Amino acid sequence: MNTSSRELEDQAAITALLNRYATAFDELRYHDVEACFTEDVLVDFPTLQRRGRDGFAAEMSMILSGIAWMQHFSTNIEIELEGDRASSRANSFTIGCTRGELCCTLREWIRFRRPKSWPG
């Protein structure tokens, strides 16, 4: 396997994004979860299907209002890079399997394009 330093940096940045996403959910910081998405995100959760990130935080606050805390344990993170796009898969103990497509802006991995929760 011949992995370039750029690929290793991209994989580390995407892993950090996945961790920020899960930690924000754990700490009930839905605006920070929302910030992980692109403007045109397609959210496909078992409890929520929507397009666009505007209003996501308010919607999640309402849907999860009875939850006092969460804890995500993500394992088996797989990342496939394709230029300034990537796809990922990670097992998450609390919400099953999450999948998503990512995009790179100015060589910085900053946003989910299409988060999807398992099953699916």
Q: DSSP states of 19-54 as a string?
A: HHHHHHHHTT-HHHHHTTB-TT-EEEETTEEEESST
> pTM of the entire structure?
0.74
| Displacement of CA 62 from its chain's centroid (Å) | 20
Alpha-carbon torsion (15, 99, 97, 69), positive or negative: positive
CB atoms within 10 A of CB 91: 15
Q: What is the pLDDT of residue 44?
A: 82
Domains of the chain (ranges, CATH numbers): 5-66+76-117 (3.10.450.50)
Q: Which residue has the tokens 């409890």?
A: 47
Of residues 50 and 108, more confidently modeled: 50
Q: Has residue 115 got a pLDDT over 90? A: no
In angstroms, rounded to a whole number, what is the distance separating the alpha carbons of residues 44 and 50? 7
Contact of 33 with 53, CB cutoff 8 Å: no
For tokens 């950090």, name the residue.
Answer: 16
The per-residue pLDDT for range 81-97, each reduced to its tens digit, is: 998 889 888 877 774 44
